[in-house]
Amino acid sequence: MTEITGRIHSIQSLGALDGPGIRFVIFMQGCPLRCGCCHNPDTWDFNAGMEYTPSELVNKAVRYKEYFGKEGGITVSGGEPLMQAEFVKKLFDLCHKENINTCLDTSGCILNDNVKKLLEVTDRVLLDVKYTSDELYRNHVGCKMESVIDFLDYVNSKQIPVTLRQVIIPTLNDNEENIVKLKDISNNYPCIDKTELLAFRKICQVKYDKMGKEFPFADIPEPTQKKIEGLNNLLK
Ligand code: SF4
């Protein structure tokens, strides 16, 4: 039987920002959402990217195994990895055979049978909760917040450790009310053992320019370090 293939945008051999420890990061091609803050608009198109089989990727990842240490491993990010859940499940199966830890970086917008199977072999979920308001989700992401909460409910029921992440975007979610809601989510779900606030960055403007697309948040300033520190203090 021919091995399933996945569409990959790019690979980062040794990443330190996407999950615990040092990680081999695979960015999947294709995303159904349209976040105004998206810094990877070049991952949106489902037909672009390169095709790989799970074995081809794991063969690459094992070369870096010595750098992973106790905490590191593989992270699949995107784009939206849940759109290729069957492929990522096969990839994670092979990772486990090689004793490589698996991490899934997702918006959590989809929950179907293939996603549930994928979660069976996922060691940690990095859940990007974009906002804590359904209105902001509908206006600036393109899905209901309820879908993300349904995903989180399921992950929690399976006791998979979750790192909650949110990009802080001035004027939209850089306020106390949002942080209080984020804290509530974290307190209500025992699976969440870490919450990370990330600063909105505009370095991606060049990608939008190159693609001839408008960067929806071009006029929003980047948050100051002081602002992020203040919000982090509220989270404690
Ligand atoms: S989910 Fe990620 S890749 Fe998709 S639009 Fe949002 S930020 Fe971009």
Q: Quick check: CB of 40 below 6 Å from ligand 1?
A: yes
Distance separating alpha carbons of residues 67 and 7, to the nearest angstrom = 26
Render 155-188 in DSSP notation, one character per residue. HHHTT--EEEEEEE-TTTT-SHHHHHHHHHHHHH
Question: Looking at the domain covering 6-235, what would its CATH class be?
Answer: alpha beta
| Residue-wise burial string across 110-129, b where 16 or more C-beta atoms lie within 10 A, e elsewhere | bbeebbebbbebbbbbbbbb
pTM: 0.96
Locate the domains of the chain by residue range. 6-235
Residue whose Cα lies nearest atom 7 of ligand 1: it is: 38
Which H or E element spans position 25?
A: strand 23-28
Q: Quick check: CB of 33 below 6 Å from ligand 1?
A: yes
* Identity of residue 48: A
**Cα(216) to centroid(ligand 1), Å:** 13
What string of pLDDT tens digits covers the 236 residues of the chain? 689 999 999 999 999 989 999 999 999 999 999 999 999 999 999 999 999 999 999 999 999 999 999 899 999 999 999 999 999 999 999 999 999 999 999 999 999 999 999 999 999 999 999 999 999 999 999 999 999 999 999 999 999 999 999 999 999 999 999 999 999 999 999 999 999 999 999 999 999 999 999 999 999 999 999 999 999 999 98
